[in-house]
Structure 1
Amino acid sequence: MTAFTLNLNAQNLFPVKLDNCKTERFCLDCGDTKAGYNQEEFTKLQDNLNKELNLQGIKGAVKFQVLVDAKGRACVLSHTDQSNSPISQKIIEELNKFKKWTPAITSGKKEEKSSINLIFAISDNKISGQIERVDMTAFKKSFDNAKSPEIYNKTYDYKNENLNNYKITVWNSKNSNLPNNMNDNITIDKNGLIWLTVDEGLVTFDGKEFKNAEQNITDKGKFFSYYALATDNNNIKWVYGTKNIYSFDNTKWTKHDSTEIGIDGAYEIINNPKTGEVFFCSDEGLTIFKNGKWTNINKSKLKDLPSNRVTFAKRDSKNRIWIGTFSGTAMIDENNHVTNFENTKTILKGKCITSMDEDENGNLYFTLYEFDRKEKGKVNNDEGIAIRYADGTFKQFTTENSGIPFNHTNCVLYDKIEKVLWISTDRAGLVRYDLKDGWENYHNENSDIPTSYISTMTFDDNGNLYLATRQGLVKIERK
C-alpha cells in the first residue's frame, strides 16, 4: 500500500494518458530515497534511441510519467506529446522494456509503486533523457484551482429544479482553519464529529473548528499520510496511515501489527452497521474485523474470487458480501457460495464495483470501474452506475442511456429521506437522480459547490450530505 493516492487513475499528470499500466494506487515521486534508474544502463537506452531514430533537423522535448514498482519494473502512464509521434512511441516502448529502475524507499521499505517524471529533449540531432523531480508544493497548489466540469453527456437537458431547495456550505483553507483543501476521505462518528483526511494529515471538525487529530504513536518521519477512514459500531475510528492500520477509541491510538492482522494497508475501510463487521480491502483479499477477531477471505479459501486485490466490499441486507476486485466483481451469499460476475453475462462483467448502497426495498446501487478497457486512452468509459433490483435484474446507467453527465463515478449514496440517489464524479461534480427520469448535475459553474472533483460522500444523522473534495469540505442540507 502506498502514498498520496488520488483515486483510481486520477494521478496521470500529463494530457496523453495510457491505459497499459495497473494504476490503482501509487505515490507521486515520494520516498526518503526517490525512484530512479541505473545511470550506466540508462545511458545505453539513450544510445539505442540515438542509433534507431532519425532525429535530423528535429528539436523539442517530451515529458513522460513513469510508474516504477518495488521490483524495479516500470510502465509509462502519461506523456505530453499530443501528436503521438513515432519518436514518442519508440521512447515509450524502450522505457517499458527497461529493467534497471530503482524503486522509491520510505523508512527502509520499498514503495510498492511510485511515479517519476522524465524529460527527453532533442537537440543537435541527439536525444537525451533525465529525471525531472515533481515540485510537490506547486503540484498541490494546482489542485487548489477548481477546473471546469467536463460534461460528456451532450443530449440531456439539466434543469436542476431542486437545486434551490438546498443550502450549500463550504469550508476551505481561506474561510476557516482547515489546514488544506485536499480532502479525500471522510467519516462522521457517533458523536457527530467529522473526521477528514487532509493531504498528509488528519483532522476533526465539530461544525466550528478544525483540529489536528493525527495518531501519536508512530514517528511520521519525512513522509506520512492517511488514505482510508471509517467509524465502527463502537465509535472506534479506523485509519490506514503509511504502512499501518490504526484505530482510535477516543482515548488512545492503537497500531495493529501487520504480522498479526495480515495486512499493512487498505484501499478502503468499510463499516457494516448491521453485522458489526469492519471490512479492510487490500491486495491480500478482504480482511474482516469483528468482536476483536481478524479473519481473511482470499482466493486460497474461495477459489472463485476473481482476485485477491480487493478495492471495495460491503454486506447487503440479505447477508451477501459484494466484492469489487481489480479483476472483476464477486458476491458471496449466506451459504458461502461465490458468484464471479466475470462468468456471467450481466452488466457487472468486466467491471469492478467501487461503492454500494441499498434502499429500503432491497435494491442495490453500485458505482462501476471498467478494469479491462477496450479503447486505450478513452476518458468516458463503459462505467456509470448500476442498479440491481430486488428481483435480481440489473440495469446500467451511462451517458448513452441516462442523464448521468460523466461515466466515471466515485461514490453512490441512497437518500432515505428524499428517496433519491446522490452520485459523485471526479470531473462533472455531483449528480442527483430521482430514480425515475430526473437527473440533476451540480458543480462549480452552476452552484455553490466549489469543484467538479468530488472524492467521496457521507450522511450525518440528520440526513445532511457531506462531500470530501479537492476544494474543501462541503455540506448540503435541505432548506
Structure 2
Amino acid sequence: MVRVVSCIFLFLCFSAVAESARLSLSDYFTETWSTRAGLPHNSINGVAQTKDGYIWIATWEGLARFNGREFKLFTRTEIPGLPDSGLRSLIAMENGDLYIVGARGGIALRSQGGWRALPSSSAMVNHALVTEQGELWLALEGQGIVYRASETATEQKLLDKLSAYRLLQDKTGVIWAATSDGLYQIENKQVSKINEDSGLPNASVFTLLLTESGTLIVGTEKGAWQKKNNKFVAINPVLNNESIASLLEDAQGDLWFGTINKGVFRLSSLGLENLAADDGLPNNRILSLLLDREKSIWVGTNAGLFRLREAPFTNWSQSRGLASDYVRTVLSHSDGSLWVGSSNGLNRIENGKLTTLTQAYEKDPLSVLSLTEDKQGGVWLGTYTAGLMKVVNGQIYPVKNRSNGLISNEVRAVLFDAFDNLWVGTAAGLTKIDPAGQIHSFTTEDGLAGDFIMALNEDDHGRLWVGTGVGVSIFDPVTEQFKTLEFPTQFSTEYAFGFYLDGDKMWLATDRGLVRYNLSTDKMSLFGRDQGLPVDKLFQVIEQGDSLWLTSNRGVIQVNKAQLVALLDNPEKVQPMSVSMQLYDEGDGMLSAQANGGSNPAAVLHSDGQVWVATAKGVAIATPERLKEASKRRLSTVIESFEVDGKPITLPVGNEVLSLPAGVSRVSFNYAGLSFIMPGRLNYQTQLSGYNQQWVDRGRLAITEYTNLPPGDYTFKVRAGYPNSDWQNNEQVLRFKIAPYFWQKTSFKLFILVAVLFAAYAIYKYRLYHYKRIEIELTEKVEQQMHDLQTQADAFAHLANHDQLTQLPNRRAFDIWLSENFSQFQRDNKTLSIAIMDIDHFKLINDNFSHLIGDKVICEIARLLRMNFPDEGYAARWGGEEFTLLFPYKNAEEAARLCEIIRLEIAGYDFSELADSLSVTVSFGVADNAQVADYDRLLSHADNALYNAKNNGRNQIFIYNQGCITLD
C-alpha cells in the first residue's frame, strides 16, 4: 500500500545522471492536496511547471500557482478578458510563457509576470499547441480543430463536429490530434485519419505522448499504443481494457498511464504496476500527469492533487510480507542478506525477496527480540517467551530456555565474544554459554548494575559491555568481575540501550542522549538536549560515511561526526550550533518515526551502505547516498511580491528600476525557494545594496522588511538554499530608488549650508560685539539660577525624606538609614534596637473628634518625640498613627527604658487644648539585632512585639520574646 503522508521533508532522490535501482510504486513517498489545502477545486484538469519553477494547476474554478508552501489563485478577476474561470489545459513554453485554455473558448497568456487574454474561440478549448512556425492550434470540444496564423489572427477550421482532446507536433513537424473519432494526422494543413489498418482500435483517443526517443504513444479508450514502423502496437495487453486519459515518460524512461477509473499504471523494468484509490490515490479518475524537475510525479485526479517522490527512506512492512509491522531487531548477515525479527516472527530478505521462517516444533507466532550471527554464519535469536533459538536448515529450533539453563525466557540481547562464548542478556540477568556448553549466570548479586539486560557489546580488550535499565556494567574476562560504569551526576543517565565501538571510544545510546566514553582515559562526555539534540532517548548508534545515525522514538537523527567530536573535545570553544544534524521522520518516507529500542540490534549498517532501522511499522531503510545529491539539485528563488507602505507594487520586468515617491516609510519583500519537496525547510539570505552590503541570514523566514530608508538607489537580492549545503547561485534581484523631498536634494542642502554659514558668521560678529555685556548678564543669571536650583533641590530633598504633616523623617528616609547602616552594625557586632510606636485607639480619636483633631494629635506627639528623643537616636513617621524609633548602640532593654520616658510623657500630656476630654496613650514594640540576620527580620520582630502590646491592653511597652515590660 502506498502511504499518504501530510508532511514532507527532503527531496533527496536518485541522481539524474547516475543510474539507480527503481523503487516499486509501494515504496514511493506520497502527498495529497485538495481544497482544504487551498486548491480552488478538486478536479485537477492540468498540471504544468514553468521555467521559473512554479507548479501551476488548472481546475474548473480557476488557476492555482504553487510555491511549495501555499496556493495563489488566479480567476477572471486577476486575468481581465478571460471569459470563464474553468480551465482545461496548461501549456508551459520553453521561454517561460504559460498558456491557459478552457471554458467558453477562453485563452490567456502569462508572459514576463503579466497576463494577457487572447481572443476567445467558439467552444471550450481542451488543449492548445504553439507550433514551431508560431501558429496557435486549438483542440475544441464538439467543434474539432482550428488554427490561427498568429495569436490574434482569424481562425481557420480543419476538423468539425467532433471533440478534439490533445494536439502534438512531432520532430518532423507533423501534428497529431487525439479526438473522439480516433487519431488524426495533419501534415501541411492536410488532415488524414489513422484507420484501423494501422493497428489502432476503433475507439476514442484521449491523449498523446512523444517520448525522448521520438516514439509516438497514443492513449485510447481501449488501451495504450505505440507507433512502430508506421504501425501501432499495444504497449501492454493488460492496458487494452483500460481508458487511458493521460500519459507521461519519467526521467528513467518509464511510462506512466493515467486511466479513467483504475488509477495510475507504470510500465518499467519491474513490470506493470498499478496505483489506485485503495493504495492512497484521492480518486481513480486521472486527469493529468507531470514530471517536475526534481523528478517527482504529480497526478491530477478528480478528487485532488497527488504527488509521488523517491524519499531517503523506504520500508519493508507487513503489507510487503513481513511477519509483523512491529519490528524489534534487524541483522545484517555476512552473506548479504537481512534478517528481521518482529513481534510475530522472523523474516529473511535477500535481493529484494522475502522469506518467512517457521518453527520446527511449534506453530504459534514467535516474538523475536534479538539476533546475532556466529562464526559459521548461523543465525541465533532471542525471543520474548521462548528463550534462545537458532535457525537450522531454514527452520527455527529451540536451544535454551528457563527449563534448561536460562534465567528468563525473555532474551533481549545475544552476542558471541572473541572466545566464542555466547552471552545471553535476559530480563532477569545475564547468562554465558561457553564453547563446551557450560552455563554460567550472573545477576545483581554478582555485580551487575541491573538484571534487565538490553544491550551487549565487546571492546578491543575483550571486555563485555552490558546495558541495563539502571546503568552499564563492564565484565573483565581476566578477573571475571563486573565493574559498574559511573555516569556523572549531571548526566542523569540510567538506561543504556545500545553500544558502538569506535576505536578507543565507546558510544552509548542512553535515555539522556549520546554518551562518549574514552577507553584510554575513562573520560565521558554527553551530547544531549542542552547541546541541541532534539530528543532525550536514543536506542542505537550507527556510523555511515561522515555521519552518526541515531535512532529514537521521534525518528532517525543524522549527525556530522567530525563536528560532534570537535564539540565533545572542546565544549568551551565549539558552539553546539556548529554541529550539523537532521531529524528524519514520516515526512522523509518512514512509515513510522517510532524507532524501537530495548532489544539488539535495533538498527544495522548493511554491506551496501544502507541503514536498516526497526520501527513500529516495519523496517525503515535509509539510503545515505541520496542525501549527497542535495547540493546538486537546482533550486529557483523568486520574489513573489513587493509592498510599499502596505500597498502591493507590480513587480518590474527584467532590470527595470522601480521609482518610489518621497516619504516611503516601509518596504517589504515576500519571496520563495521553489522546492516542492522541502519548502518549509529552506533557508534564505537577503542583501540590500545601498543599505548593507552583507548577506543577512533570514533562516526560514520568507519575508523581509525595511523601514525608514533614506532616499537613494537600492538593489535587493535574495537567495534560497537547502539545509546543510552551500548557497547556490540563484539570487533574485529587485532594483528600486526612493525619491527625496525637495529639502533632501543636494542643491537645497548646499543652499541651507551657505545660509547657515552666513548666519553663523553674523551671529558670531554680534556675539563678539556684545560679549562683555552678555557675559555680565549671564553670570548674574547663572548665579541666581544656581541659588534657586539649590534652594529647590534642598526643598525637594526635604520633601522626599520628611513627612509633610509632622516634618519628621518619613518611612523612605527611615528605610534608607536602616538599609545603609544595619549591615555595618552587624559586622562590627554592635547592638541596634528598633521600636515601633502606635497611637492607641487612634480611629476613635478620628471618629469622636474629627480627622483634623487626629492630625493635630499626630503633630503634637511628633513634637513630644523630638523633645524627649535622645540625640543619637532616629525617629520617623512610619505611616498613619505609627512611628519608628532607632536606638543605635542600645539593646532592647535600654531602648525600652527610653521608650518608657516617651510613653509617660505622652500619657501625662494635656491634650485638652486640642479637644475637651481628649487623652492619648501609645504602645511600643521593641526588638534588637541580637538574633536577626537582616533588617527586615528586625522590623518584623518589632512589629510582632507591638502586636502583643496592643493585644495585652495597650499603653505599654513589649519587648520581642520577653513580654510586657514595666520599668521603674
TM-score bracket relative to the smaller structure: 0.5 to 0.7
Cα contact 1:341–1:349 (8 A) shared by 2: no
Q: Does 1:411 align with 2:540?
A: yes
Cα contact 2:360–2:397 (8 A) shared by 1: no
Match of 1:399 among 523, 529, 538: 529
Match of 1:229 among 371, 386, 393: 371
Question: Residue type of the partner of 1:331?
Answer: I
Match of 2:479 among 335, 338, 342: 335
Map of 1:298 onto structure 2: 442
Matches within 5 A, 1:231-310: 231-241=373-383, 242-258=385-401, 259-272=403-416, 274-299=418-443, 302=446, 304-310=447-453
Map of 1:171 onto structure 2: 316
Map of 2:585 onto structure 1: 444
Q: Which moved more, 1:404-413 or 1:230-239?
A: 230-239
Q: Which moved more, 1:468-477 or 1:311-320?
A: 468-477
Deviation at 1:300, TM superposition (A): 7.4
Distance across 2 between alignment mates of 1:318 and 1:419: 26
Distance across 2 between alignment mates of 1:300 and 1:449: 39
Deviation at 1:398, TM superposition (A): 0.9
Map of 1:41 onto structure 2: none
Map of 1:320 onto structure 2: 463
Cα contact 2:610–2:622 (8 A) shared by 1: yes
Distance across 2 between alignment mates of 1:461 and 1:338: 34
Map of 1:459 onto structure 2: 605
Distance across 2 between alignment mates of 1:327 and 1:173: 34
Deviation at 1:428, TM superposition (A): 3.7
The verdict on how the C-alpha distance between 1:281 and 1:435 changes in structure 2, with shifts beyond 3 A counting, is farther
Distance across 2 between alignment mates of 1:230 and 1:339: 25
Map of 1:131 onto structure 2: none
Deviation at 1:445, TM superposition (A): 4.9
Map of 2:505 onto structure 1: 363
Map of 1:422 onto structure 2: 549
List per-residue Cα deviations over 1:169-195 (Å, max 9, x = no partner): 323344x33354322211122322211
Distance across 2 between alignment mates of 1:166 and 1:293: 47
Question: Residue type of the partner of 1:462?
Answer: D
Question: Residue type of the partner of 2:425?
Answer: C
The verdict on how the C-alpha distance between 1:445 and 1:264 changes in structure 2, with shifts beyond 3 A counting, is closer
Map of 1:384 onto structure 2: 513
List per-residue Cα deviations over 1:161-218 (Å, max 9, x = no partner): xxxx9953323344x3335432221112232221112331222111322221122212
Distance across 2 between alignment mates of 1:287 and 1:319: 17
List per-residue Cα deviations over 1:90-112 (Å, max 9, x = no partner): xxxxxxxxxxxxxxxxxxxxxxx
Deviation at 1:240, TM superposition (A): 2.8
Distance across 1 between alignment mates of 2:437 and 2:561: 40
Q: Does 1:432 align with 2:559?
A: yes
Secondary structure, aligned partner of 2:404: helix
Cα contact 2:388–2:411 (8 A) shared by 1: no
Matches within 5 A, 1:182-193: 182-193=326-337
Map of 2:145 onto structure 1: none
Distance across 2 between alignment mates of 1:325 and 1:182: 22
Question: Residue type of the partner of 1:235?
Answer: G
Secondary structure, aligned partner of 1:351: coil
The verdict on how the C-alpha distance between 1:474 and 1:320 changes in structure 2, with shifts beyond 3 A counting, is same
The verdict on how the C-alpha distance between 1:191 and 1:326 changes in structure 2, with shifts beyond 3 A counting, is same
Q: When you count helix as a share of all residues, which structure comes out higher?
A: 2
Cα contact 1:306–1:325 (8 A) shared by 2: yes
Match of 1:471 among 609, 617, 640: 617
Cα contact 2:326–2:342 (8 A) shared by 1: yes
Question: Residue type of the partner of 1:441?
Answer: Q
In the alignment, structure 1 segments of 5+ residues that lack a partner are: 1-144, 146-164, 370-382
Cα contact 1:245–1:265 (8 A) shared by 2: yes
Q: Percent identity?
A: 14
Matches within 5 A, 1:87-102: none
The verdict on how the C-alpha distance between 1:406 and 1:459 changes in structure 2, with shifts beyond 3 A counting, is same
Secondary structure, aligned partner of 1:296: strand
Secondary structure, aligned partner of 1:233: coil
Deviation at 1:301, TM superposition (A): 7.0
Deviation at 1:366, TM superposition (A): 0.3
In the alignment, structure 2 segments of 5+ residues that lack a partner are: 1-279, 281-309, 565-578, 597-601, 627-968
Cα contact 2:454–2:468 (8 A) shared by 1: yes
List per-residue Cα deviations over 1:211-255 (Å, max 9, x = no partner): 2112221242xx642222222222221123333321113355431
List per-residue Cα deviations over 1:401-458 (Å, max 9, x = no partner): 2x3210111111233xx24321100124333342424342232354233331112211
Higher relative contact order structure (alpha carbons within 8 Å, sequence separation ≥ 6): 1
Q: Does 1:210 align with 2:354?
A: yes
Question: Residue type of the partner of 1:236?
Answer: G
Cα contact 1:454–1:468 (8 A) shared by 2: yes
Q: What is the number of equivalent residue pairs in this alignment? A: 295
List per-residue Cα deviations over 1:42-68 (Å, max 9, x = no partner): xxxxxxxxxxxxxxxxxxxxxxxxxxx
Deviation at 1:469, TM superposition (A): 1.7
Distance across 2 between alignment mates of 1:348 and 1:274: 32
Distance across 2 between alignment mates of 1:225 and 1:426: 20
Distance across 2 between alignment mates of 1:432 and 1:273: 29
Question: Residue type of the partner of 2:543?
Answer: Y
The verdict on how the C-alpha distance between 1:218 and 1:263 changes in structure 2, with shifts beyond 3 A counting, is farther
Distance across 1 between alignment mates of 2:316 and 2:448: 42
Question: Residue type of the partner of 1:475?
Answer: I
The verdict on how the C-alpha distance between 1:474 and 1:409 changes in structure 2, with shifts beyond 3 A counting, is same
Secondary structure, aligned partner of 1:400: helix
The verdict on how the C-alpha distance between 1:337 and 1:289 changes in structure 2, with shifts beyond 3 A counting, is closer
Cα contact 2:412–2:427 (8 A) shared by 1: no
Cα contact 1:233–1:273 (8 A) shared by 2: no
Cα contact 2:528–2:535 (8 A) shared by 1: yes
Distance across 1 between alignment mates of 2:498 and 2:465: 10
The verdict on how the C-alpha distance between 1:177 and 1:441 changes in structure 2, with shifts beyond 3 A counting, is same
Question: Residue type of the partner of 2:316?
Answer: W
Distance across 2 between alignment mates of 1:244 and 1:411: 23
Secondary structure, aligned partner of 1:405: coil
TM-score by length of 2: 0.28
Question: Residue type of the partner of 2:533?
Answer: I
Cα contact 1:269–1:278 (8 A) shared by 2: no
Question: Residue type of the partner of 1:354?
Answer: F
